[in-house]
Each structure stands twice: as C-alpha cells, then as structure tokens.
Amino acid sequence: MEIHQLFFYLVALSYFFASIEGLSRSDFPDGFVFGAGSSAYQELHTRMAKGLAYGILSLRHTQEDIALMKEIGLDSFRFSISWSRVLPSIQPCITLFHWDTPQALEDEYDGFLSIDIVNDYHDYAEFCFKEFGDRVKLWTTFNEPNTFSSEGYATGTIAPGRCSSYVGNCTFGNSGIEPYMVAHHILLSHATAVKLYREKYQASQMGEIGITISTFWMVPKYQTIASSKAASRALDFAFGWFAHPVTYGDYPKSMRALVGNRLPNFTVIQSKMVKGSLDFLGVNYYTARYADDSTSSSSVHLSYTTDSHVNLTRFSDVNNNSWTIQDALNDRLRLKYHQLHLSSRLKATRARINVKGYYVWSFLDDFEWESGYTYRFGINYIYYKNGLTRYMKHTAL
Ligand SMILES: *[C@@H]1O[C@H](CO)[C@@H](O)[C@H](O)[C@H]1NC(C)=O
Ligand SMILES: *[C@@H]1O[C@H](CO)[C@@H](O)[C@H](O)[C@H]1NC(C)=O
Ligand SMILES: *[C@@H]1O[C@H](CO)[C@@H](O)[C@H](O)[C@H]1NC(C)=O
Ligand SMILES: *[C@@H]1O[C@H](CO)[C@@H](O)[C@H](O)[C@H]1NC(C)=O
C-alpha cells in the first residue's frame, strides 16, 4: 500500500452518512440497496490504457476494489458483463449490455440495425442466466439504450458512429430512421430476454430483471405553456421512448405524432411481450436541461435530434480534469449533490414511493467514452500516472 493511500484510508474516519446532515442509513427501509456503478468497457479501458494485461494485476485491483467498497459501506456493485468478455464479486447487479456490440455481429448484419440481433441477444442472455444466474439476483438487460440509440445512430458521437451528414461527421447513417430501428430492436431483445428469464430461470434462481434508462430532468425554460409542453415532449423522447413501451406496450403518443412512419410498429404479440417486461426500472440521471420550443426545424433534414421540436440548453457541469488531486478529492459540490439527492430520496420513501436502491456513478474514475479521461466521475480518484492507485474522494467517505 502506498503511503498516500494509507494516509487517505486513515482519514476515512466514518461512513458515507456520518458526514451527511441528518441522514443515516437507518432512515432508509430494510433492503434498500446502496451501491456504485461501473461498466466493463469503461473500466477495462482504464486498465488497458496503462498497458496492463487483463490478468494478475487486474485481479489484484479487483480484490483491492472490493475491500474499498466494503470500507465505503456499499452493499452492492453495479457492473456490466461485456458480451465479448467475462469476473467474480460482492452482491452483483449485472448489466448485460452496456454499448459494446460484438464486432462480429456488426460485420455480419449491422448489429442492432438488424432484427437478427434479437435471437443472438436471447442466446447471449440465456448463456449468462445459465452460467451466473445461481449467484446473480439483479439483471439489467440494457444500460441507457436511449443514449446508445441516439448517440450511436443520430449524432454519431459514440460507437458505431453513424449519422446523417447534416447532423454530424459520419461516413454512414441516417439520423432520421436508424435510431428508431435500433431502439425497436433493443426493446424486442430486452423483452425476449425477460420472457426467457421469467419462463425458465426466475422460479429457481429467484432474481429480478429490469432495464436502465437515462434521462435529464427537463425543466421548462420559461413559465409558459409552450415551454412546459416542450419539457414534457423532451422527456417522452428521452425516457418515454423506452419507459412507455415497457409499461404500456407502445411508444408515447407524442412520438407517434411527430415521428410518424419512421417510428416502427409493434405487432399485437410483440406489444404484449414488451408490456410489463420488467421487475424493476433503473433510472440514470446526472443533471437537468432547460427545455423550450425549438425555433428552427427542417422538414427535409429529419433527425431524432430535432423530431421532438425541443431546444435543450444546459446547466454547467462540475467536472474538471485540470484539478489537482487535492481539489478532486475535496469534491464538495458532488457531496452536496448526493446530500440533496438522498434527502429527496428519503422524502420519496416516506411518501411510500417504492424506491429500492441507489447506485452512485461511478465507483472509480473511468474512461468516459468519447471524452476519454477528461471527466472524473468516480467517488474514488484514480491516479493514472501511478499504477492506477485509488484514493477515496470525500464523497466516498
Ligand atoms: C470528419 O472526419 C474525418 C475522418 O475521420 C476527419 O478527417 C475530419 O477532420 C472530421 N471533420 C470534422 C469537422 O470533425
Ligand atoms: C404503423 O401502423 C400505422 C397504423 O396501422 C400505419 O399507418 C403506419 O404506416 C405503420 N408504420 C410503419 C412504420 O409500418
Ligand atoms: C435554442 O436556444 C438558444 C438560446 O436560447 C438559441 O440561441 C438557439 O438559437 C435556439 N436553437 C433552436 C434550434 O431553437
Ligand atoms: C478547470 O479548472 C481550471 C483550474 O481550476 C480552470 O482554470 C478552468 O477554467 C476549469 N475549466 C472548466 C471547463 O471549468
């Protein structure tokens, strides 16, 4: 153990809650899970970038990380199994798909653009239920399928980087059609995996299966009807795109009206299979956006990014890679965010809203997709220059 590390461990005087005014673990109901998240690609990338083989060294880090989780007082750790790879753990909450489509399926039939993915995803899910289902009690079929569909196929900013030339700098793609096809195939893949789990594995393995959708909270920019309608449409296009079908068996009405024939239909059988296909709903939320009516929209250059006719403007984000390690460890704004958040969460629990757990993103600083290592979301700091040594930030303490 490094000297600094020992130092930071020594200042780890108390649990997460001791520093949060008036909040303690016992305020939450029995069984409420506290955890932190990660994803296979993002963590592995951090290790590979250091030229570390996925072997002995990463095993050392795995054991170290589990000890760190226990020290922080987490019950559960949310991570994804990479479809193209497979690790041991603490109460696992497994994500089956976190954006890393196998290259072979991308080459064979364009991955999620093809309905063929549904059967392959089914087989992959079955393999995981069979192999790990005796130990895994929480399965997430897809992590942020809405981000994957829109950024992979409308803006082209994440893999596979497809978009229309009028939206971004992509070689291939159609931002007005592909995101909707991909989302449709994801919903069918999800529902097929849930059906399989329920029919064949759930009774004996006694786990739960769900999906995790991300969304900003959309705040009307002005106190006008137009702004509040825009906020509601923006929620439909981000969250409702997946939440509405898994709840009611079809896309939100606003999407049907605005996207028209570009939005695929569910057959009656598919709709029944998709409806209710979840034991829990995971929601990833990071920040909020102001929403207002969009002033410009093209009827020629159709795109998922403009179909909602909403103009979203951002709040500023608090993450900065040029901070010194002391600045980063003293992450007071993040601490305040979690404080305020957990007190609201407690209010929801007291109002008998059935919230089962809270996973912080992320457990470690990670490789943030197209932004590389420029953001530090971890509650634990990774010193990239020094053998990936971990330091707990104030939020972890
Ligand atoms: C677009 O992509 C090409 C090929 O990757 C690259 O050379 C070019 O600089 C990019 N243009 C912009 C404006 O990002
Ligand atoms: C979906 O069904 C509606 C109503 O039957 C039809 O008008 C529309 O063309 C269909 N859309 C697609 C993409 O097939
Ligand atoms: C969105 O809002 C910003 C700031 O209010 C404005 O500058 C921009 O032109 C708007 N864009 C669209 C597409 O409405
Ligand atoms: C990041 O922090 C540095 C040093 O505190 C500051 O100069 C810079 O403006 C910050 N960047 C952003 C995007 O906040």
Domains located in the chain, CATH noted: 3-219+241-247+275-288+317-396 (3.20.20.80)
Q: What is the pLDDT of residue 16?
A: 34
Q: What is the pLDDT of residue 188?
A: 98
- CA separation for the pair 334, 313 (Å, rounded): 21
174-191, pLDDT tens digit by residue? 999 999 999 999 999 999
- How far is CA 256 from each of CA 164, 215, 241, 259, 262, rounded to the nearest angstrom? 22, 20, 10, 6, 9
171 backbone dihedrals φ, ψ, rounded to 5° = -80, -35
Q: How many CB atoms lie within 10 A of CB 107?
A: 9
Asked if residue 343 has its Cβ within 6 Å of ligand 3, the reply is no
Asked if residue 354 has its Cβ within 6 Å of ligand 3, the reply is no
Ligand number with the minimum distance to the CA of 265: 2
Q: What is the pLDDT of residue 96?
A: 84
Q: Which atom of ligand 3 is nearest to the CA of 297?
A: 13
- CA separation for the pair 7, 193 (Å, rounded): 46
374-388, pLDDT tens digit by residue? 555 555 555 555 555
CB 284 within 8 A of CB 214: yes
| pLDDT beneath 70, residues of the chain | 1-25, 32-92, 315-332, 359-397
Output the ligand 4 site: residues, CB below 6 A.
320, 322-323
CB 304 within 8 A of CB 236: no
Asked if residue 374 has its Cβ within 6 Å of ligand 2, the reply is no
Using alpha carbons only, give the angle 246, 250, 255 rounded to the nearest 5 degrees.
Answer: 115
Burial state string for 188-219 with b = 16 or more CB within 10 A and e = fewer than 16: bbbbbbbebbeeebbeebebbbbbbbbbbebb
Among 320, 321, 324, name the best residue to mutate to test ligand 4's pocket (greatest count of ligand atoms within 8 A of Cβ).
320
Asked if residue 316 has its Cβ within 6 Å of ligand 3, the reply is no
Determine the 3-state secondary structure of 33 from DSSP.
strand
- Taking the centre of ligand 1 as the mean of its atom positions, its distance from the CA of residue 106, in whole angstroms, is 22
Q: Which atom of ligand 3 is nearest to the CA of 295?
A: 14
Task: Name the pTM for this structure.
Answer: 0.74
Average pLDDT along the chain: 78
Measured by CA distance, the residue closest to atom 6 of ligand 2 is: 261
- Taking the centre of ligand 3 as the mean of its atom positions, its distance from the CA of residue 295, in whole angstroms, is 7
SS3 content of the chain, % helix, strand, coil (to 5): 45, 15, 40
- Taking the centre of ligand 1 as the mean of its atom positions, its distance from the CA of residue 241, in whole angstroms, is 31
Among 292, 294, 311, 312, name the best residue to mutate to test ligand 3's pocket (greatest count of ligand atoms within 8 A of Cβ).
311
Q: What is the pLDDT of residue 382?
A: 52
